[in-house]
Amino acid sequence: MNNNSSAMVMLGLEGMAVLAVSEHDGELEYAIETTAAIGWCPVCGAIARLHDRRPTWVRDLPAGWTIPGFVHTFF
């Protein structure tokens, strides 16, 4: 999916792309990643070219009948 998809609009995640959606133990899990090619170093804060993406699991509030969970991969 591209970052202009209806999923991105529904989730309100500007600058992100939805890679996949799956269900685990009654929870929806969205795999998303940043669309930026340039980011910042998490250690020193310097602007840098993105060369690695680490998965981070974020749990969100209930939406409808399910609890969405996001796997956000970023620099």
Predicted confidence at residue 61, as pLDDT, reads 52
* pTM > 0.85: no
Is the predicted pLDDT of residue 65 greater than 70, yes or no? no
**Res 62: pLDDT:** 54
The model's confidence at residue 69, banded by pLDDT at 50, 70 and 90, is low
Using alpha carbons, select from 18, 15, 21, 14 the residue that is nearest to residue 1: 18
Q: pLDDT tens across 2-39, in order? A: 545 666 666 677 778 888 888 878 777 878 888 887 87
Give the per-residue pLDDT at 60: 66
Q: Rounded to whole angstroms, how far apart are CA atoms 52 and 55?
A: 10
Going by DSSP bridges, is the β-strand pair 27-34/38-40 parallel, antiparallel, or unpaired?
unpaired
Alpha-carbon gap, residue 38 to 2, rounded angstroms: 18
What separation in angstroms does the CA of 18 have from each of 42, 46, 48? 23, 27, 23
